[in-house]
Structure 1
């Protein structure tokens, strides 16, 4: 495909793997692709590089929440500027495998409490395949937020079916049907602790951020 440049990133699962470096070397030897194991803050920065704030039609205070299998990244955006980011080892696969640390959960709760005290009116921007799918299943239009009330109703409806039934009834892929419930739970917990009533879902994520940064670097090189 005449690729000019690329960036391959590994996130939470590889960060925590004792043999992460071995996996990187194995893939590099067989494919020529070099993978970067990035930390949570770099992951959050890349997502912000997706220009996600450009999708918002209003000013204000937001927390950008990216829920993955192994971690959740939360970034503070105020008046379209990124103020800070934090990463937590709280993810859908960790929850399913009962590997979630209570101390890590309480650390996130404490941070969210401080945010609520600082920002009285704050909304959530959600990223990732799970919230994108939940937004779609809720029947919300692309430019409308998913209300926390509607998310809770949808979560309970999904939870009333087995994984096999979810795959059939909601046309979910097998690797989505199991993690979609803990993903909804994470968003609901975050919304509760900061007092948010809605989640904006612009369907932009880390891949988009990587693409934006690669294109930006390419255009700068051409200018020089």
Structure 2
């Protein structure tokens, strides 16, 4: 549920000014926060035509799901890190005079026995209200955030969001969207079906520890991920489109952007070069195998991966390759975007005005001018 400005901002004395520079451009500011199993991320943006312009951002690795597989609970240290990160978010929102926001939590909070306890603690400490969203809504928001990455020359797009605790897949009907006018129509493409697998980079790393599998660790993770990825009934009839080369994949996660950065041999990660880029499936697999051939220090030495991602990136690669095994495509579009962008687009969407009964015409028929 969308929220008005956070309580921390509403509590300022009347007539006082927010800290910092305040608004940096015309129009109101909106914010979207995604509290995932591994990261806490926020975007602040203003409307720009049918899209938006980002004016502030925040990202911090909080490792919220660490140990959750074993205990079923969020550990106190991780909860402390989350609250500290969200205090920064609330401060940024106040400084930017955010008028409306939505903050969501995903798989870790869905699974944890004390997920609601964390939500209440966040509200008490920061004034931010969070929704723990369903896997279906998570998948839908990822699709919405990637609309302008969809290539209408294909008939299907498979949107893959590899998270810390789960992986969401959505099969999007581009052929029907194309008939409706595509992106230029202003409408949204039909999602034929979706699936959520309870396997992400954190959960997979914990379930298949390297110490127990040694040289077979990567293949063991890939096999586990393959078993976890179930094909929903609605996707089966789309399989032929993948076999005929009429489908492409859109990857939206730290995994896919890391793999793209490794493939491009970037000296450091640059969003402007990665977001919207294309890779062939072979190029993605080659990058995954290159990372799998290295030990922890070797992966950390890659400037795109670094020490923060070195211990989890192989789990993401294993999931990506498992998806490619089941749903072969020739090309992958890389998105450094997803759920947060979908939240922003929904927040900024202008509500449809209801027409009066008189305006609808007699017997409920629309007036001729509207036909």
Superposed displacement of residue 47, structure 1: 1.5
Greater radius of gyration (CA) = 2
Which of 132, 147, 166 is the aligned partner of 1:71? 166
1-structure distance, mates of 2:199, 2:316:
10
For residues 32 and 94 of structure 1, do their structure 2 counterparts lie closer, same or farther at Cα, with a shift above 3 Å needed?
A: same
Residue in 2 aligned with 1:14? 109
1:176 to 2:309 alignment: yes
Change (3 A) 1:104 1:144: closer
Of 215, 224, 227, 1:106 maps to 227
Alpha-carbon offset, residue 103 of structure 1: 8.9
Q: State which of 175, 198, 216 in structure 1 corresponds to 2:331.
A: 198
Distance 2:280 2:101 in 1: 37
* Change over 3 Å in CA distance of 1:115–1:176 after alignment to 2: farther
- Tell me what 1:152 maps to: 285
CA 1:160–1:203 in structure 2 vs 1: closer, same or farther (change >3 Å)? same
After the TM superposition, which parts of structure 1 deviate over 6 Å for at least 4 consecutive aligned residues?
A: none
* Residue range with higher mean Cα deviation, 145-154 or 64-73: 145-154
Residues of 1 paired with 2:226 and 2:293: CA distance?
25
Q: Residue 54 in 1 paired to residue 153 in 2?
A: no
Q: Which has the higher helix share?
A: 1
Equivalents in 2 of 1:110, 1:58: separation in Å? 24
Q: Per the alignment, do residues 3 and 199 of structure 1 end up closer, same or farther by CA in structure 2, a change over 3 Å counting?
A: same
Contact kept, 8 Å, 1:63 with 1:124, in 2: the verdict is: yes
* 1:184 CA displacement: 1.4
Residue 277 (structure 2) pairs with residue 126 (structure 1): no
Which one scores higher on RCO, CA 8 angstroms, separation ≥ 6? 1
Distance in 2 separating the partners of 1:105 and 1:57: 27
Label 1:213 to 1:177 Cα distance change in 2 as closer, same or farther (>3 A). Answer: same
Q: CA deviation at 1:154?
A: 1.2
Normalising to structure 2: TM-score of the pair? 0.53
Determine the structure 1 residue equivalent to 2:239.
Answer: 117
Shift of 1:206: 0.7
Identify the match of residue 166 of structure 1 among 286, 299, 302: 299
Whether the aligned pair in 1 keeps the contact of 2:162 and 2:252 (CA below 8 Å) is yes
The alignment of Structure 1 onto Structure 2 pairs a total of residues equal to 218
Contact 1:116 1:195 in 2 (8 A): no
Name the CA shift for 1:169/1:107 in 2 (closer, same or farther; >3 Å): closer
Cα separation, partners in 2 of 1:28 and 1:155, compared to 1, 3 Å: same
